[in-house]
Amino acid sequence: MDMNQYLEIFIEESKEHLENMNQSLLELENNHSDISLVHEIFRIAHTLKGMSATMGFNKVANLTHEMENVLQLLRSNEIELSEKIVDVLFECLDTLEGYINQIANSGEEGELDSDYLVKKLNQILQGEPESENNSKEEVSSTNESNSNDIHIEVEEFSKNVALKAAAEGFNCYKMQIDLNPNCMLKAARAFIIFNTLEKDCEILKSNPPVEDIEDEKFDTDFELIIISKVDGETIRKRIMNISEVENVLIEEIDVNELNIQAKDIETVEEERTVDTKNKEKDEKKSNKSKKPKLGKTVRVDIDRLDNLMNLVSELIITRSRLEEMDDSGRKHDINEAVEYLGRITTSLHDAVMKVRMVPIERVFNRFPRMVRDLSKELGKEISLVMLGEETEVDRTVIDEIGDPLIHLIRNSIDHGIEDPETRKKHGKPEIGTVKLIAYPDGNSVVIEVEDDGQGINIEKVKAKAIQNGLITEEQAENIDEKEAVNLLFKSGFSTADKISDISGRGVGLDVVKTKIEALGGIVEVKTSKSGSTFTIRLPLTLAIIQALLVNVGMEKYAIPLNSIKEIVTIDAKSIRKIQEQEVVLYRNTTLPILRMNKILQVDSDACDEEDLIVVVVKKGDKTAGFVVDNLIGQQEIVIKSLGKYLLGIKAIAGATILGNGQVALIVDINSLF
């Protein structure tokens, strides 16, 4: 069967499961006694095992199976949860993630090795590493002798109950019940049998499973493992008394033997199937050379899709309405229809946006793990507080925001938060806190990374900036705190020296800034002795923006509204030339004047006019005035890329399609400063 069609769903779901597993593991680490978390992790591992085995991803299936074994022991309190086990489970999680990512990229699991993890898991299972070899041998021998007469597998869970039961004087039986082939209501009959048994026995396991028996998914016989104080013959007679029961076989099982057998049979059988499956897969592999490549998917709330659907149908209705209007159509009707059309498109836009919205949780979820690892690595105790995970952001933003946030959080933990002793000395709680806060603010999303560390040492930053030749000593004396902090974002800052030498935070902050600005957002820093806050402000969506359409020469260009400060008219005579740069004194500051027609290589005679229309734009603290020929107006525009071929064209951020089908280019203001 061709599984490729299910691959996307598989990957999407696996990722979701792994995310949940990650969370549960993190919680488990802090709360070793919470058995429900073990159950949860077990459930996830089990689901993953099933899913991946179906898809033929045996490495995943194998590893999850081994995890299950260990989790099972935890679940039944047979082994104590230790730091080491959690670490191994985390390692397993990482490896599983590796597999899934590999599958997403290439459609195959890749070469990632998990054997050592399996070994580690087995060591946990067996308590001691050296017993490994012995048990392996035992496995093969017991398997051969027992696989024939024991049809029914005993899970660890039942086994433990059986063990306990045996200790309390219960007997454990294996029984096979044959129903009369003419039996009409097999399920009902089985139900009666179960009921009868349950009076003084406990059914540990049935083959086929109880659910299948209830659904009548069995032939005429089924097998059970039960424990009871009553002796086998009595039970047999009791069951035989039920009508339509043809035969009952019952035999006692030695519980202690069961212990070994059950576990080993399971693993060996698994190994066997895995082997054959691997072979099959190898064969298949040689046949299909084409690797599927996967697109990105978004899971969408069905209500949102319905809404979208409704709007589109309304759109179609309106179109018919417009089509039916003949030339005699009154202007009033047309106006009405157009107005209606306008309303629908606005709602449609809204609806489409919502479909693309994803809770920022998706990004946030990976941080608890990162913080855990980092705090272990650095020997600092950190508590991560996350707020507003439900804040929704456009899919495109989600994809891009992860790396900058990782940088910032790393920075906070690495440089911001002091080691426990220093913290104690300063009267701070030993455990440092990093807060990750997200909230919507109008048309943008704000994400804050806040820590209660030592803040940024301005003097050290200055010293380093001088050392790196970013500023002169003279400049250093004159700049204020804010400017000094902004030095951190300078590209030369981080690369020049070793990260560890000063507390100055500068590890790739220039990268963070570049990235955020590329997304149309801004980063700000606030810092004090009691901690710093990095604030990222991002537009809700990257696909649709408000823009000002202007004429430059005969051409139309769009300037993103979020970078526009104001629009003014300036007398051409007031422009002065300083070192080849035109400037004008505007509100007591010098405003550099840039001629749009020169930047965009357009013929235009706007320069000769007396009153110049100037669009004042800002980038951070800097402002500049751009001379345009004419203003057309404000419009919501859909950003389209210029395509791979014209990647990175100077001064142009993209294109948009105007109402008349014409393409207008979007000016990249950020690149012009």
Partner 1 sequence: MAEKITTTDNQYVLFKLDNEYYGIDILHVETIEKVMDITRVPHAPYYVEGVINLRGEVVPVINLRKRFDLPQVELNDESRIIIISIEEIVVGLLVDASSEVLQFDTETIDDVPNFSDRLKNDYVKGIGKDNERIIILLDLKKVLGNTDTNEEL
Give contact residues for partner 1 (rule: CB under 8 A): 555, 599-602, 640-646, 649-652, 654-655, 657, 661-665
- How many other CB atoms sit within 10 Å of the CB of residue 595? 18
DSSP letter, residue 640: B
Write the single-letter amino acid at 457.
Answer: N
469/227 Cα distance (integer angstroms): 81
Single out the catalytic residue among 143, 171, 411, 597.
Answer: 411
Q: Is 97 among the catalytic positions?
A: no
Rg (CA), the chain: 35
CB of 294 to partner 1, least distance (A): 15
Q: Give the chain's length.
A: 673
- Residue keyed to tokens 């693309």: 356
Residue 345 or residue 503: which is nearer to partner 1 going by CB?
345
CB of 658 to partner 1, least distance (A): 9
Which residues, in sequence order, are bridge partners of residue 664?
A: 656
Residue 355 or residue 672: which is nearer to partner 1 going by CB?
672
User: How many helices (H) and strands (E) in the chain?
Assistant: 23, 22
Are 540 and 394 spatial neighbours (Cβ–Cβ below 8 Å)?
A: yes
DSSP letter, residue 414: I
CB of 640 to partner 1, least distance (A): 4
CB of 632 to partner 1, least distance (A): 15
Residue 558 or residue 583: which is nearer to partner 1 going by CB?
558
- Which run of H or of E encompasses 246? strand 245-252
Taking CA atoms, 137 is separated from 129, 343, 424, in Å, by 15, 75, 56
CB of 664 to partner 1, least distance (A): 7
Question: Nearest Cα to 61, choosing from 53, 69, 73?
Answer: 53
Residue 11 or residue 667: which is nearer to partner 1 going by CB?
667
Q: Is 46 among the catalytic positions?
A: yes
CB of 341 to partner 1, least distance (A): 18
Is 560 exposed, middle or buried, given 0-12, 13-18 or 19+ CB atoms closer than 10 A?
Answer: buried
CB of 307 to partner 1, least distance (A): 22
> Per the structure block, which two tokens stand in for 54?
């179906």
Residue 397 or residue 666: which is nearer to partner 1 going by CB?
666
Residue 26 or residue 628: which is nearer to partner 1 going by CB?
628
Please state at what angle helix 115-126 crosses helix 58-75, rounded to 10 degrees. 20
546/544 Cα distance (integer angstroms): 7
476/456 Cα distance (integer angstroms): 16
Residue 313 or residue 662: which is nearer to partner 1 going by CB?
662
Q: How many degrees, rounded to 5, is the angle at CA 259 between CA 256 and CA 261?
A: 115
Write the single-letter amino acid at 318.
Answer: T
Residue 293 or residue 332: which is nearer to partner 1 going by CB?
293
Are 629 and 550 spatial neighbours (Cβ–Cβ below 8 Å)?
A: yes
Residue 665 backbone class (left: φ over 0; alpha: ψ -120 to 50; beta: rest): beta
* Backbone phi and psi for residue 435, each to the nearest 5 degrees, phi listed first: -110, 135
> Per the structure block, which two tokens stand in for 3?
């599984």
Residue 413 or residue 628: which is nearer to partner 1 going by CB?
628
Q: How many degrees, rounded to 5, is the angle at CA 453 between CA 451 and CA 458?
A: 105
Single out the catalytic residue among 32, 39, 46, 349.
Answer: 46
CB of 106 to partner 1, least distance (A): 17
Q: Tell me: cis bond preceding 208? Omega within 30 of 0 counts.
A: yes
Catalytic residues: 46, 68, 411
